[in-house]
Structure 1
Amino acid sequence: MTRDEEFQELRPLLFSIAYRILGSVAEAEDAVQETWLRYEASPTVPASPKSYLSSAVTNISINVLRSARVRREEYVGPWLPEPLLTDPYEDPQRSAELADSVSMAALLLLERLSPLERAVFVLREVFGFGFPEVAEAVERSEAACRQLAVRARRHMDEGRPRFEADRRERRELAERFLDAFRDGDVDALAGMLAADVQMVADSGGKAPQWGRGIAGAAKVLRLLAAMSGALAGVGVVVEPRVMNGQPGAIFRAGDGRILNTWTIDVLDGRVQAIRTVINPDKLDHLGPVADAWAVNRAAIAHRHAGSADGTPPAPSM
């Protein structure tokens, strides 16, 4: 095989490693491209292209993450990973680990780890690399990598929910939830929300935002009820999709452009969290992006026009 053929064969794996380390589609793609440039320019032929390329993309991703951490500290409002529709890497032997590790909840847990812990966890726990390979990739001793793996597992286990619903049950409940939202069925929505449900939105200051998040069934239900009629009234379509390996949806404006995405966390038969990405910079890899401010203004006007008491509406996204 030529170098280009070897690289193209391994590209899905390299992207999947980089995305889990970085939580960003754009940054992962850049890391993969930089890996190719290094591979192409290397005067030596590695004994194992997989080991060489995995090490290269890991090191590049660690360096990118260190600088990204500084930017995220200055981010406007809550930060969420960029939504991913399809993970390009498939391994039937590790399908459960791969699916769980790409969820919004797991990626947010990974944010708690140091860059080195995160890289070690991703390589070892998600992709099943042996410690010699992990050590080579992060340029640390095997003993150090074992310690990093122990700390990373502990942090991840502390943050995981104690019980996780069956995947089919999660999908079915999410489908009923989205149907109830589209129909404006407040009673049905209320019956599916956990008492401590949270809604978190990532706008990055570049789209409508409802503050730093909303918690509690009553508040979330009030917002969902306000959003449902307002968005339907201006032609917004809710398109159920698998987002980051979990139930979710793409919201499209009347012209088909992407408005925002939802991912829905389900646990113990209830919706525990709704995470929405509205920042247009995090959506353009999914397709043309709508003007969320214009849609929001139209939705507010629609709600005012149909309101009997003239109460100012909640934000619509």
Structure 2
Amino acid sequence: MIKRKHGVEIQIKGTIITVSGFKDYVTGGLCDVKLLLERISSSVSDREILRTVQWMFHDPDSSDATLYSPDATVFIENALRMRLEKVDILLDNQPHIINFEKMQEYNIASGKSVKVSRKLPELGDLDADVPGKGTFLYVLQRATYPEVERTLYHGTSETCVKEICVHGFNRSFSGKNATVYGQGVYFAVNSALSVQEQYSPPNADGYKYIFVSKVLTGDYTKGCHSMKTAPLRETDGIPLRYDSVTDDITKPTMFVIFNDTQAFPEYLITTNHCIFLCLCLLPGSEFTKDLFITV
């Protein structure tokens, strides 16, 4: 087939292949010889190909498909796996071209074309199974994550307001207002808790101060008075601590953090008497700007 296609002479002696002829013809012949050698040395055995793949052509005058010979099937399948657009093959001693893009067999001598197909016995017919193309079915599911950041409230005294505005929260001040669930920084889920006397003691003029804060509560557990840091989780791998502690793990009303970088003060509420507190935060507000609410 290669000799006829390129007009060259090919001699095989042992492990040596000699291609002779005009220079341009020899170049083309060498490419096909290389392709043939790659097919022979393919890591996929011929037996494996014949077990999993069937190639056939469809005669327009017949409703039944005709299987290619085992040698032709192996040759065509290897060419397909090498991602060739087309390959020359000798069928019934006549030169043919298999076009993988059109899935056609073209008879060079007669000029006739027939449709070809590739079949996987276990999966059924795949008439246009071209490498790199196909249809895949995926299941798209929405990922759900636990709430790790919360908007919480922190009541404090007047002497700590400027310190928090400039440097953020500091657990070194823990113990001034509460240490029931640990010696850290306390935050309330509801603002009504933060305005209580024990969390935000009024100054001489009767004003109270409450910060609206973003807090990384993460994975939390029940706290106790003696805790100076969050306890270790019960894991088999690297020892990791909880991110925060709380008063009630099922329905928390307050959180305690032991890492100062876990909280950020966003807004400061200043009030002189609290019966009911309702705060509407407008976009673009700055936490350094005092918001005065008097009821």
Range into which the TM-score falls when normalised by the shorter chain: under 0.3
Instruction: Answer 1 or 2: higher relative contact order, Cα 8 Å, separation at least 6.
Output: 1
Q: Which has the higher helix share?
A: 1
Please report the TM-score for the alignment, with normalisation by the length of structure 2: 0.22
Q: TM-score if structure 1 supplies the norm length?
A: 0.21
**Larger-Rg structure:** 2
